[in-house]
A and B are shown apart, each in its own frame.
Chain A
Amino acid sequence: MAVEVSTESQTAGGVPSGGGGEAAARAFVIDPSRSRWLSRIREAFGRRELLAMLVRRDVSVRYREAVLGVTWAVVVPAATLGVYWFVFDVVFQRQADDVPFVVFLFPAMLVWNYYHSSVGRAANSLAKDASLLSKVYFPRILLPLSNVISPLIDFSIGLVVLIALLVAYRYTPTIQIVWLPVFLVMGMGAATGMGMLMAALHAQFKDVQHFLPVMLHLWFFSSPVLYPASRVPENLQIFYAFNPMVTVCEGARFAVLGTDFPLAASTVLCGLASTLVLLIAGFTAFMRAEQTITDLL
């Protein structure tokens, strides 16, 4: 019978305490009583050099080994695009709003791919670096955070493919392109929240690795990547709006293609609200799990 060791205390904290005197001002207290979040955020911020290092590590480890190196970041989205082009443009002969389907698809697919890989990698980040976690202390939140940042490299490379695609189809982006970073930031917010939440869950429950891919798959089809949001029936729109990726995907399309913004203000507000809820939930869950991670892994 396998015996596992885990700890009971769920919330706890270790934090620099204030107080008079030179030594006391620097005194650091480790006790199981409270989780002093504010100072832990401050601490994580103080280690941003490490965050940069972790991002660099992720990126170079990812591409150094492959023979074609960074080329893969171009080849993979281009190949996916090719598949979708074949299925939808050639087989189904589908036209979306007078725009060639690949052009319609690609902006949304870029942000979705970013979201997908961020959440997936962030969820796995603690398990992947378990040996690190058990040997040295650093603010653990840097691990999911670095995994939300590093897919931005793939995203930027994908942007190059996008530009090539637009040129090929003789599309000139309008000034609306400045909105792209705005929707990207929203996507990052959702990815950060979801990533932290999944990382915290994954530390405690091994079945996240089975459940997460299925969830992301369903989520993909619940987001307007392959189809415009307007195709969703009216009576489902209320639920649909709470998916932050609806706003992000349609927003990216709007920014790149220079079309009219297809969503109602209420939809965007719902998306923003659920992004915020995700961020808060993810952060809370992670902060609670953080202190006991070593005992759980």
Chain B
Amino acid sequence: MSGSMISCKDVSKRYVLRQRTKGSRLMLGALYGGAKKLMGRADDDLDSQDVHWALRNVSFDVAPGEALGIIGRNGAGKSTLLKIISRLTLPTTGRVELAGRVGSMLEVGVGFKNELTGRENIGLSGAILGMPAKEIRVRTDEIIDFSGVRPFIDMPVKRYSSGMRIRLAFAVMATLEPEILLIDEVLSVGDAEFRRRSAARMEELIRGGRTVLFVSHNRDIVERLCDRAVELDRGHLVSIGATARVVEHYREMVQPDVETKAFATFDADAARPIRIRAAAILNRSGEVAEEIEIAESFRVRVSYDINEDLDNVNIFCRLETVDAVGVLCSGDADYDPACLGPRRRGAYSAEFEVDGGLLEAGAYRLTVSAGIPFQKVFDRCPAAVSFRLVDRSSRRRLWYPQTRPGFIAREYPWVYEGRSPWA
């Protein structure tokens, strides 16, 4: 492992799934099983179905000062890998070599005791995380300042709001300065101001020459902070290399999983004042389309029934990415407040057009709701339809084959003052 800080060699982890009904976790059951074994009637041969490989022959090296991102879907083995490297569990086979002190940030608030004061918890949590007592004493003030809970520091933590608790816990953790740092998605805690500070501290830690393993679902953060990345899928390492390339591979692999359905209908329901009956995504030619070129415009069509005369209602669409990030909202009374006026009963259909070249490639879903703004929701169809924006024709696609982070796909022309460099 010459030169590398972390070296995983053929690491596998096998879990045995046991049924509780067999009673094998009870001591009497174990004694009974042992007795049976002695009498040569062992029946607990491992059925291959009872075995789950959380990791299978995973090997990689991390150089000193490198930040390695780990991405993968749920259950891909990311957490198991971090658990093994932070010594919480042992690999079934293979080995990991570490050339420095490991600090792990797997969860905020490890070892906090509600009955103890904030100050006492700093000492306790610090000691559990492996800080020498002297260092904790020296840095206590710094920790208190970073957390911003100084007025409450000598109060029991159970009196804290959950935000204060998390801030204090994070502040303790952020003072850790191990040579190898393991981070599992703990970035977004506290209020906006604290989030900004903690994200800055994370970046400082990651960029501060430390060796970092960083697990996150947020591909953008991995792309921003990590030099290289590893992609895990069902326990196997499927790609490793420059972050942008691995993230792109991951994106492509994940995509087929997102089911798209660009047209949906819903049964009539006279009990509701308004009932949404159908939603559809239409392409430029007016056909229902699951895939739309990002450069082209598309239309969102909604059909609904009004079952009783109503006032002040609107129909509302929320467009979001598959990661549930809201991208665009539009209501049918946005453009003209007069539309909030009385509506007569009947069946209606309406649509709006989203211009081409606006939204970035990716999978999207649309939630449609109907109601009185700020007061009532009469009907709501979450993720009623879903579709994908694809980029096969944009100009930058010709030379930049990857998806960029962000939601907006606009291509802006750059204008040079005076002389251009190509002249």
Contacts and interface: CB of A to CB of B under 8 A. Distances in A.
B90 A291 contact: yes
Main SS of the interface on chain A? mixed
A137 interface: yes
Contacts of B111: 132, 136
A65 interface: yes
Interface string B114-135: 0110001001100111101100
Interface stretch (B26-34, B357-365, B412-420): B26-34
A120 B25 CA distance: 20
Nearest to A64: B115
A31 B94 contact: yes
Interface string B87-104: 111111111111110101
Contacts of A207: 26-28
A60 B90 contact: no
A137 B88 contact: yes
The number of chain B residues touching the other chain, given as a range, is: 35 or more
A117 B93 CA distance: 40
A34 to B, nearest CB: 11
B89 A295 contact: yes
A213 to B, nearest CB: 15
Interface stretch (B13-21, B235-243, B348-356): B13-21
Contacts of A137: 86-88, 102, 104
A7 B16 CA distance: 6
A49 B129 CA distance: 12
B234 interface: no
Interface string A46-78: 010110011011001100110000000000000
Interface in A229-279: none
B106 interface: yes
A205 B30 contact: yes
Nearest to B27: A205
B277 interface: no
B90 A30 contact: yes
Given A50-B128, A136-B110, A205-B25, A294 B89 contact: yes
Interface range on chain A (Cβ under 8 Å from partner): 35 or more
B87 A6 contact: no
A211 interface: yes
Contacts of B52: 5
A171 interface: no
A204 B30 CA distance: 10
Nearest to B88: A294
Contact of A6 (B3, B16, B120): B16
A46 to B, nearest CB: 10
A24 B4 CA distance: 10
Nearest to B131: A49
Interface in B260-291: none
Contacts of A136: 86, 88, 104, 106, 110-111, 128-129
B245 to A, nearest CB: 29
Interface string B76-93: 000000011111111111
A1 interface: yes
Contact of B15 (A47, A57, A132, A295): A295
Interface string A184-209: 00000000000000000100111110
Interface of B: 1-3, 14-21, 25-28, 30, 52, 83-100, 102, 104, 106-107, 110-111, 113, 115-116, 120, 123-124, 127-130, 132-133, 156
Shortest beta-carbon contacts, A-B, top 5:
A31-B95, A205-B27, A53-B127, A137-B87, A2-B20
19 contacts: A1-B19, A1-B20, A4-B19, A7-B90, A23-B3, A28-B97, A30-B91, A32-B93, A49-B132, A54-B127, A60-B116, A132-B111, A134-B88, A135-B107, A136-B86, A136-B88, A205-B26, A207-B26, A207-B28
